[in-house]
Every structure is written in structure tokens, then in C-alpha cells.
Amino acid sequence: MKRLIISILILSSVLFNGCVEKAVQSNKSENTKDCIVYNIGELPKELIMLTEYDVRQQDLLVNLFEGLVKTDEKGNIIPGISDSWTISKDETCYVFNIREDAKWSDGNDIVADDFVDFFSKILSKDINNKFADQLYYVFGAAEYRQGKREFNNVAIRAVDKKKLEIRLNYPCNYFLNILAEPIYSLRKINENLVDWKTAYKNILFTGSFIIDNVDKSNNITLVKNNNYWNEDAIRSNKILLTCINSSEASLADFQSGSIDIFTNPPISEVKSLNDSGEISQLPSYNTESLVFNLNKDGVVKDVNFRKALACYIDRNYITKEILSNTARSALTYIPTGIGNGLNGLFTNKIYFNGDVEKDKALEYMKKSKFNNSSESLKMIYIDTVENKKICENISKNLRDNLGIKIECIGCSIDEFNDAISKSDYDLAKVDFKGSYDYPLPFLERYSSMYSDNNYGYKNVQFDTILEKSKLERDKNKKIELLKMAENTLYDDVPVIPIYFSDTVICKKKNIKDVYFTKEGNIKLDKVYIDLEP
């Protein structure tokens, strides 16, 4: 009997000892975990998060904050802090009804004016926001951003305490898709979000969890937000987020039991993890491409040369042999599975081939100005094992079959960005994540008016088609215009899509109901540990 009592006391001590200790003691029984450990990777510098798009870092936003609407795992728009909304007959006026039980984490009511304040802050010219133009559909938003009018002349207003009205310049059938993005989750835009690792106790949260602690190793303890409107549906009382920024180290901790969930394991380990039933994949919005430097004189300005290269990329080999089927060959510019704003999916013609098109490539080379000189081109890439293999595979194929000499140079992120800004390259392997579920953001990045288009591609016709698509009131005609824009991009080939990467998640078998949004964010509100043997 004495031994039994001691065993019970030891087990109780383990159960209530806290997440942080669990993270460093990997020899604990699976049945004694008191919380789930998710390795989120590199942490964001701040929680305003309007200066760059990182789907993993945005996992913090989707679990700590909530917007008017959100998306489920199938990409459907579902209620968030707004439990319902109405859209005017001309589709330019949206009225959102704020839940009666919606509260900040301190227990105070969330009201329509909170959203007015939020939008006024993120649209202000005084804040760095690379996504601001997404809201230019709203009447007066562009002029306010440019400092040409006050926010009280922007068509975002509180009708009453619980009704928010937003009026648009013209119909935008994907406006809810934009509002469902994590960056539009309601939060107080202030210094607490900037200094979040030390000021987390002063942050007001609106989502499923709040930050309870950030330790010296930057491990983050999340606990259930007891004032969240759907608090009863949250399955776990506590989640620990770790920040191991290495796929190899994450896998080691996963195998030792220190972490329960992480994403994007080493490619070399995908097959064994898949065989063990500890892995799942989800198509993402992420496109990996080769972009040409059209700011620089040389053969890359020759469209026939660019088309020849596009024909000699072995996409199927790259996705199957190098990436172990964690990606899909990109045969179009718009990833498969992107919505068309008409309750369906966007589809257009297939432009590229998964396998090498040798004869077609040789035809284009004959038309090009390439003279098989000793000059070599410079291809830069972010220095990872997979990027190195991919770029070297492309380089070898082009050298052996078309006589094109390419020097592949791996760079740190800072070196890569510096080379792009200085036009010190001929080709670059780039990745791009569409910011919302609609074809426009995948095309708009190559518009000459797009702030991040540093590659020198300028086509007035392409720009005009995209602008027309925004202004067009007929939803079907909008899609036809976007197809025309994609066709134009193919005609010019300023960029060659290579593959659409998947999000790969590893989780222990006893971790249940982890789910992704269609954008690829991991939601933790339903996750729990199955303690059954």
C-alpha cells in the first residue's frame, strides 16, 4: 500500500509540474503530459505583423486574436467576432453584427468602435503596412493612407454599439476573404504588441488563447482565454510554443518526446515519418519560382530565351526526387485550389509541362539571341539543402542540353535581399505566398505598381487588365480578366513557376484535432491529448 501511495504522489507531481519542465524532460510517459508542445519556429519580432508575410508566425495571430470573420479548414468564410453580416444589393455596403458576448480578455465588451479604431491604426500613414492597399476597396481608405483626408471620412463606421458598417468604392466579391486573413484579427495597435515578449501581461486578446508566460528561452505558454466568446469549445487549457528554428533539431526533439507538433521536417525524413503515420500534408498558397532580372541588360531580356528555360525545367523530378512529394509541379501561375469568388475554384489553361520539353526548348533557343558564348549567368537562392539541389539540377540540365552556363550561388536571407535590391543577379529562386484566397494576389505581385516587384517586369497591358478586374462589377467578367492577365504573364514569361509547396505537419499519434486553415495556419483551439493507450 505504501508503494502505491508513493507512486500516486509521483504521478500527481508530474501531471501538475508545468509545460516548461516537460519540454526539457523527454523521458516522461506520453500519458502524463499536461499540455501540448508545438514548435512554431522563428518568433515574430512584434505582433502588429504588417511588414511581412510568414504563415508560421501568423499562427500566433490566429490563436491569440480573432477578426470579424475567419476561415475553416475547407476555406469557407465563417463567423468570428461578428456572428452575422448583411451585404447590400449592389454589394458595396457590408454591415457586421458584433456578438453580444464578444469580449476582450480583460472582460470588457468588444464594440464596433474597437474595429473603427483598429482599422484607423493599420491604415495610418504613420505605420509600416505592406498590405494596406488590400483595403483600398474601402471608400476613402487610399486617401487616408496618403494623408489626404481624416479617418472620419473613411467609410468604416460604428452604426451603433454592436454594428459596424464598411462601404466599398465598387463591388469586391472576395472582400470577406481579405478580412478573414490573420492580419485583420482585432488587437490594440500599440507598444505592447511591439514589446510583446515582455509586455504580454498588458496585451488585450480576442482569440482562443492568451499569453501566460514567455520564459528566458522564449518558450511561450498559452492558456485558455476564459473571456473568449466560444471558450467552451476550446479543448486544451494550456499550450506550450517552442521556437526551434531548425528542421533537424525540431525532428530530434520530436523523436525524443520534447515536442508534439512541428512543421516541415527534413525532406530526407519525410518517407519514414509518413510510414510511421506521424505526418500529414496540406496544399499551401506557396509558389516557388525562377524570376528573371529584367532590370539588367543581357540575354535574360530575350523572351524566347526565357521560354526555352521554362521548357527545360524537370518539375516532376524536382517534386518527386528532390522534395519527396512534398510539393506539386507548378504548371500554371495560380496554385490549384484557389477560390474564384463564385463559390468555386479558379481554373485556367495549363501553360507548362511537368517533364522536360526538349524539342520545344530547342525551337525557342533557335529564335533567341543566345550565342553559346563563354559568359555564364548568375542564379541566386536562399541557402538550404533543397534549394541547392534544385538550382544545381536546373543548372546542369541547361548546361548539358542547351549550352547555357549558370553559376549557382547560395545566400543568407540578408545577402539574397541585398542582391535583389542591387540587381546583382540574372535569375533568382524566389518563394511567394498569396495573402488571401483569390487569384489576384498571385498575379498582382508582377504589376509595375506593386511595391515588391523589384524584378523589372513592366507591361502596361498586364497592369491595365488587373486594374479592370478590380473595377469590374460582373463577377464572371472579373475572372475572365484575371485569366487574360495570367495569359499575358505566360506570353512574357518574366517568371517561371517551378512547384507549389505543401505544408507538412508532424504530430504524435495521441495528439488529436490539430487542423489547418486553408491559408496554412495551424489552429489549436480544438487540439487535445488522447490519454487512451
Query: 3-state SS string over 1-50?
Result: CHHHHHHHHHHHHHHCCCHHHHHHCCCCCHHHCCCEEEECCCCCCCCCCC
Residues 227 and 121 in one domain: no
CATH assignment at residue 308:
3.10.105.10
How many Å is the Cα radius of gyration of the chain?
25
Q: Residue 19: pLDDT above 80?
A: no
CATH assignment at residue 103:
3.90.76.10
Residues 353 and 381 in one domain: yes
* Strand locations in 161-259 (E): 163-167, 209-214, 220-224, 238-242
Q: Residue 373: pLDDT above 70?
A: no
Share of the chain above pLDDT 90, in %: 78
Check residue 295 and give its pLDDT: 94
Mark residue 210 as left, alpha or beta (left: phi above 0; alpha: psi -120 to 50; beta: remaining). Answer: beta
Which residue has better confidence, 343 or 179? Answer: 179
Asked which of 30-34, 158-162, 279-283, 356-360 is least confident by mean pLDDT, the reply is 30-34
Check residue 73 and give its pLDDT: 79
Residues 6+ away with beta carbon under 8 Å from 363: none
User: Could you give the angle at the alpha carbon of 464 between the alpha carbons of 459 and 470, nearest 5°?
Assistant: 135
C-alpha separations of 86 from 160, 165, 172, 362 in Å: 15, 10, 14, 56
Residue where a domain terminates, one of 137, 155, 184? 184
pLDDT tens digits, one per residue of 480-506: 999 999 999 999 999 999 999 998 999
pLDDT tens digits, one per residue of 447-474: 998 877 889 999 999 999 999 999 998 9
Average pLDDT of 406-435?
A: 94
The boundaries of the domain holding residue 87 are: 66-184
Residues 495 and 519 in one domain: no
CA distance 464 to 122: 28
pLDDT tens digits, one per residue of 109-137: 999 999 999 999 999 999 999 999 999 99
Residues 316 and 400 in one domain: yes
Check residue 336 and give its pLDDT: 86
* pLDDT band for position 284 (cuts 50, 70, 90): confident
Contact 406, 377 (CB under 8 A): yes
H or E element at residue 194: helix 191-194
* pLDDT band for position 31 (cuts 50, 70, 90): very low
pLDDT tens digits, one per residue of 296-315: 988 999 999 999 999 999 99
Residues 151 and 32 in one domain: no
Check residue 533 and give its pLDDT: 54
User: Could you give the angle at the alpha carbon of 292 between the alpha carbons of 291 and 297, nearest 5°?
Assistant: 165
CATH assignment at residue 214:
3.40.190.10
* pLDDT band for position 446 (cuts 50, 70, 90): very high
Residue where a domain terminates, one of 133, 159, 184? 184
Share of the chain above pLDDT 70, in %: 93
pLDDT tens digits, one per residue of 96-106: 999 999 999 99
- Total domains in the chain come to 3
